[in-house]
Structure 1
Amino acid sequence: MLEIAAALLGLLVGSFLNVVVHRVPRGESVVHPASRCPGCGHAVRRRDNVPVLSWLLLRGRCRDCRLPVSARYPLVEAGTAVLFAAVAHLVGPAWALPAYLYLAAIAVALALIDLDVHRLPDAIVLPSYPVVAGLLLLASALNGDWAAALRAAVGAVAVFGLYVVLFVAKPGGMGLGDVKLAGVLGMLLGWWGWDALVVGTFLAFLLGGVVALPLVLSGRAGRRSRIPFGPYMLAGALLALLVAEPATDWYLGVIGLRPSA
């Protein structure tokens, strides 16, 4: 039931994220005005705002002028629902669940915005610091687990510091938005565990390299090409929640340091 509830919440959040992805890069309010068809200007009716279902019933077109509506809208809604359900399954009915659902939500929004405009807006990243810190501190207080809160603080400083060093050492290698996002992800990974902190940070660079290398080798990108790194940071952080523990056990086994059962 937790996964079903999370999926339903994800559908609603995904609908809102479509607005965020479209308006935030333009500096527009995500609250006002109400969504309108860009072709005829008619406001979207409430019955046409049901996630995924309305798009299917209208066959991907505006009710009034029949202008095609991008399939990206229902895909974002459905994708957010699946991601929320996966995170709920992974985290379980824990006090920290809201923090990691928040991670899932900003991951969808920031990844799409970064792919669209090569930017991670401060309007999303900077408020994430107090939101994530507050949710994780609340979870630590309710669990009586202050060691997790300390790991989160250390993780934020460590990952943020690493990205600052990389930003200074190689100007243009990554954007300032990546540096700002690093601290947020460091908090979430650190709270989850030391293994997640290390694996999640490493996975960002691994995933980025796996995608960038074929582009460079095929000539579709050069050494000076701007490749958005935010999606790989976010994907690495989410993936680490799943694979950090088995990946760490595997690595310790490879080097002969696997802890005894």
Structure 2
Amino acid sequence: MAVTELLPVIVVLCAVVGLVVGSFLNVVIYRVPAGLSIVSPPSACPRCGASILRRDNIPVVSWALLRGKCRDCRTKISVRYPLVEAGTAVFFVVVAVYVWTGAYAGQVGPDSAGASWIPAMLVLLAILYLAAVSIALALIDLDTHRLPNRIVLPSYLVGAGLLGSASIVTGDYASLIRAGIGLAILWALYLVMALAYPGGMGFGDVKLAGVLGLFLGYLGWGPLVAGAFAAFLLGGVFAIGLLATRRANRKSGIPFGPWMLAGAWVGIFWGNQLWNSYLSFIGITQ
């Protein structure tokens, strides 16, 4: 089967896997900040303690059939649960189409000359992992103002392993070197800011910056620069909006992790276009 013919299969698979992963992310988002195991005990209603039956654990569908309430005590189940599940599925499909159709032509897309589905699959898995981590970390940071090491630190190994394997298969070591440079640059940048402004930047942000630098650097200078810049732009606009509407003051703690992650995805989806437009604007053509 030609690599282009695999796209419908990849899309369906990513949609299904996204629903399942989204259900698991709900567990991660609830348990990791509390220091609980993500594998045991089985999920239960936080109010009555009743174990959740298998038929009540089908992503999105079970919530709808139960009308958003616990089967036993009828306590309302937050709408965030099905939204995370459905959102993860949609996110996975968008990422799959973007990567698999050669969004980074000549680098990871299977449609590029001489490329095979193996490196594309490795990069796809890496970016899908980043998508899942982004959802979990963004919601945890919004809830608790924390970026747990249990999620951030393993991301270095997963990202380096998958992206490094893709580089070995293709022989594209330039991308791997660029990933290391991206990791170092963003980590150092955020470390300096954390030391200079300890009240506005935490070391959780520093550790996350290294992860994002690894992924963005692998994909190109455009994604790296655009992703880093977009984080500060989006975060700044949001903070100004809160101050203008008096929903926060200068002493309010505003989590920056979600904006780092949002900026990274701006870099992934539009970084190369923005970078090329900028170079063209200043008179440099590629």
TM-score (norm 1): 0.96
Matches of 2:12 and 2:233 in 1, distance apart? 32
1:176 matched residue in structure 2? 203
- Does the 8 Å contact 2:56/2:62 carry over to 1? yes
Count of matched residue positions in the alignment of Structure 1 and Structure 2: 259
Structure 1 counterpart of 2:171, which letter? G
1:80 matched residue in structure 2? 88
2:258 matched residue in structure 1? 231
Matches of 1:38 and 1:227 in 2, distance apart? 28
From 28, 33, 36, give the equivalent of 2:44: 36
> Shift of residue 173 of structure 1?
1.6
Matches of 1:59 and 1:141 in 2, distance apart? 49
From 217, 220, 226, give the equivalent of 1:193: 220
Matches of 2:70 and 2:144 in 1, distance apart? 26
Matches of 1:227 and 1:41 in 2, distance apart? 33
Does residue 143 in structure 1 map to residue 170 in structure 2?
yes
Structure 2 counterpart of 1:13, which letter? V
1:22 matched residue in structure 2? 30
Deviations 1:200-245 (A, max 9, x none): 1111101101111111122221222110000011111112111111
> Shift of residue 254 of structure 1?
2.5
> Shift of residue 131 of structure 1?
1.3
Matches of 2:224 and 2:130 in 1, distance apart? 15
1:59 matched residue in structure 2? 67
- Give the aligned CA root-mean-square deviation in angstroms: 1.1
Structure 1 counterpart of 2:233, which letter? L
Structure 2 counterpart of 1:27, which letter? G
Percent identity (aligned): 58
Matches of 1:235 and 1:3 in 2, distance apart? 23
From 69, 79, 90, give the equivalent of 1:71: 79
1:102 matched residue in structure 2? 129
SS in 1 for 2:249: coil
Deviations 1:23-76 (A, max 9, x none): 000000000100001222111001111100010111111112221111110000
Structure 2 counterpart of 1:242, which letter? F
> Shift of residue 84 of structure 1?
0.8
> Shift of residue 184 of structure 1?
0.4
> Shift of residue 5 of structure 1?
1.4
From 244, 249, 253, give the equivalent of 1:217: 244
2:103 matched residue in structure 1? none
Q: Which deviates more from structure 2 when the two are superposed, residues 163-172 or residues 69-78? A: 163-172
Does residue 120 in structure 1 map to residue 128 in structure 2?
no
Matches of 2:75 and 2:20 in 1, distance apart? 24
Q: Which deviates more from structure 2 when the two are superposed, residues 210-219 or residues 194-203? A: 210-219
Matches of 2:249 and 2:72 in 1, distance apart? 45
- Does the 8 Å contact 2:181/2:217 carry over to 1? yes
1:158 matched residue in structure 2? 185
- Does the 8 Å contact 2:226/2:266 carry over to 1? no
Matches of 2:194 and 2:138 in 1, distance apart? 20
Matches of 2:72 and 2:249 in 1, distance apart? 45
SS in 2 for 1:29: coil
Matches of 2:242 and 2:228 in 1, distance apart? 22
Q: Which deviates more from structure 2 when the two are superposed, residues 209-218 or residues 76-85? A: 209-218
Structure 2 counterpart of 1:98, which letter? L
